[in-house]
């Protein structure tokens, strides 16, 4: 199969859909890999690295789309790419269709086969291609939060780890899922005092078992959240209710209960956020302040650490890329139901309910 890897052209996106190691693997199976020049530079891979792995470098994104039978990338195609996508071409990437009617319409019109990373799932609903990005975002939430607690950038001026003779900072994590556990782990590693809340007792039991004693678990309730926000320095929003908007666990009037300079990191911003005052921000301008409370709400946090994120993502996508390339999309999706659940739009037809529900009759 001819596999194309375009450079990501979305603002501040430095990840790439395939590493030189992945290209090497595909070429070994007898496939042809076409990579756009400089597509890997943001993640630390030179054109030479891809050439050495057996890939062919192409000068333009148009050339990559024109030659490829399957496109492997990271973010959803941008409007510039819509007309480049061909009938019958397989596009394997994050799509998040429900958040863009324009993208959905463009992919229906293209008659391409759109397989979305975010809906590839096993029978228990585990999402193998989303988990690594949650791991990155959870760990990064503490790194960012610690930075924005510094006084010159309007934080409280607290060092999370404290020093001998001075108590550590306090971190409150809302949600003990993938993001929450990774955040708690990083905060605990810095020596901070950590409180982690969830409504799922199974998760709290797990966290209680694996974390050190200075990570305290508690059931998530409005009462407990109101109590904790008064004396925690950094608050991480990491809740998810699958398929729904995140609940507003911290309302605007609750900001007044916090100490000035408290930092809120809303990782759940991509699902609408779990603080009422959340609005999406970018890596160029990541924070805003309301009532002296610093808000960090970047919707694509992993994009800031592409060296790590590209490897974390391609570790889990490559096995599926190989299946698609070796068997063809139809046989691969039939043989591997988890991959089959990634099919979103097939040759002009929407095949999953979530997209139909999102736009109701608009697509009919």
Report if residue 317 touches ligand NAD, rule: CB under 6 A.
no
Exposure string of 147-159, with b = 16+ CB inside 10 Å and e = fewer, is ebbeeeebbbebb
Report if residue 238 touches ligand NAD, rule: CB under 6 A.
yes
Tell me the two tokens of residue 15: 């990840």
Report if residue 174 touches ligand NAD, rule: CB under 6 A.
yes
Report if residue 175 touches ligand NAD, rule: CB under 6 A.
yes
Indicate the Cα dihedral angle 299, 305, 311, 314, nearest 10°.
Answer: 20
For 209, residues 6+ apart whose C-beta sits below 8 A from its C-beta are none
DSSP for 320-363? Answer: HHHHHHHH-HHHHHHH-HHHHTTEEEETTEE-SHHHHHHHGGGG
Q: Is 353 annotated as a binding residue?
A: no
Report if residue 287 touches ligand NAD, rule: CB under 6 A.
no
Which residues have a catalytic role annotated?
Answer: 96, 270
- What residues does 296 pair with on adjacent strands? 265, 287
Which of residues 300, 309, 314, 317 is near ligand NAD by CB under 6 A?
A: 300
DSSP for 221-270? Answer: -HHHHHHHTTT-SEEEE----TTSPPP--B-GGGGGGSPTT-EEEEGGGG
To the nearest whole angstrom, how small is the minimum distance from the Cβ of residue 138 to ligand NAD?
Answer: 7
Cα–Cα distance for residue pair 219/238, rounded to 1 Å: 14
Q: Is 363 annotated as a binding residue?
A: no
Give the range of 54-62, 208-216, 240-248, 333-341 binding ligand NAD by CB under 6 A.
Answer: 240-248
Report if residue 187 touches ligand NAD, rule: CB under 6 A.
no
To the nearest whole angstrom, how small is the minimum distance from the Cβ of residue 133 to ligand NAD?
Answer: 5
Q: What residue has token string 């950038």?
A: 153
Which of residues 211, 301, 346, 350 is near ligand NAD by CB under 6 A?
A: 301
Tell me the two tokens of residue 216: 């305290």
Q: Is 325 annotated as a binding residue?
A: no
To the nearest whole angstrom, how small is the minimum distance from the Cβ of residue 242 to ligand NAD?
Answer: 7
Report if residue 269 touches ligand NAD, rule: CB under 6 A.
yes
For 77, residues 6+ apart whose C-beta sits below 8 A from its C-beta are 85, 91, 93, 103, 106, 107
Q: Is 221 annotated as a binding residue?
A: no
Q: Is 56 annotated as a binding residue?
A: no
Count of residues touching ligand NAD (by CB under 6 A): 32
Binding track, positions 75-114, relative to ligand NAD; x by CB under 6 A: ----------------------------------------
Report if residue 247 touches ligand NAD, rule: CB under 6 A.
yes
Q: Is 53 annotated as a binding residue?
A: no
Work out the burial of residue 316: count CB atoms within 10 Å of its CB; fewer than 13 is exposed, 13-18 middle, 19 or more buried: middle
Q: Is 55 annotated as a binding residue?
A: no
Binding track, positions 117-146, relative to ligand NAD; x by CB under 6 A: ----------------xx--x---------
For 12, residues 6+ apart whose C-beta sits below 8 A from its C-beta are 282, 283, 284, 300, 303, 304
Give residues in contact with ligand NAD (CB under 6 A).
133-134, 137, 174-180, 197-200, 203, 220, 238-241, 246-247, 249, 267-271, 299-302
Per the annotation, binding residues for substrate are 15, 75
């Amino acid at each position: 199969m001819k596999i194309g890897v375009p450079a990501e052209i979305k603002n501040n996106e430095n990840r790439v859909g395939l590493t030189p190691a992945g290209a090497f693997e595909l070429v070994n199976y007898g496939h042809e890999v076409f990579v756009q020049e400089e597509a890997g530079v943001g993640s630390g891979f030179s054109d030479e690295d891809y050439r050495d792995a057996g890939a062919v470098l192409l000068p333009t994104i148009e050339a990559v789309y024109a030659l490829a039978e399957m496109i492997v990338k990271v973010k959803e195609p941008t409007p510039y790419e819509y007309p480049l996508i061909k009938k019958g071409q397989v596009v394997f990437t994050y799509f998040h269709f429900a958040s863009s009617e324009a993208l959905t319409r463009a992919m229906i019109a293209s008659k391409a086969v759109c397989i979305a990373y975010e809906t590839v799932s096993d029978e228990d609903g585990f999402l193998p291609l989303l988990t690594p990005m949650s791991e990155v975002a959870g760990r990064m939430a503490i790194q960012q939060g610690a930075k924005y607690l510094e006084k010159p950038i309007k934080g409280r001026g607290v060092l999370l780890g404290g020093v001998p003779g001075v108590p550590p900072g306090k971190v409150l994590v809302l949600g003990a899922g993938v993001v929450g556990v990774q955040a708690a782990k990083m905060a605990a590693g810095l020596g901070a005092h950590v409180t982690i809340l969830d409504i799922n007792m199974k998760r709290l039991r797990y966290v209680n078992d694996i974390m050190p004693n200075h990570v305290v678990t508690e059931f998530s309730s409005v009462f407990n959240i109101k109590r904790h926000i008064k004396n925690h320095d950094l608050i991480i929003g990491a809740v998810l209710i699958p398929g729904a908007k995140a609940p507003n666990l911290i309302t605007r009037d609750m900001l007044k209960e916090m100490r000035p300079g408290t930092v809120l990191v809303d990782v759940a911003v991509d699902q609408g956020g779990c603080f009422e005052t959340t609005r999406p921000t970018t890596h160029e301008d990541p924070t805003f302040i309301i009532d002296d409370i610093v808000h960090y709400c970047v919707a694509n946090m992993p994009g800031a650490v592409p060296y790590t994120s590209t490897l974390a993502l391609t570790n889990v996508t490559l096995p599926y890329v190989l299946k698609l390339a070796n068997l063809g999309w139809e046989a691969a999706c039939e043989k591997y139901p988890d991959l089959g659940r990634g099919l979103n739009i097939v040759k002009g037809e929407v095949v999953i309910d979530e997209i139909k529900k999102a736009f109701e009759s608009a697509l009919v």
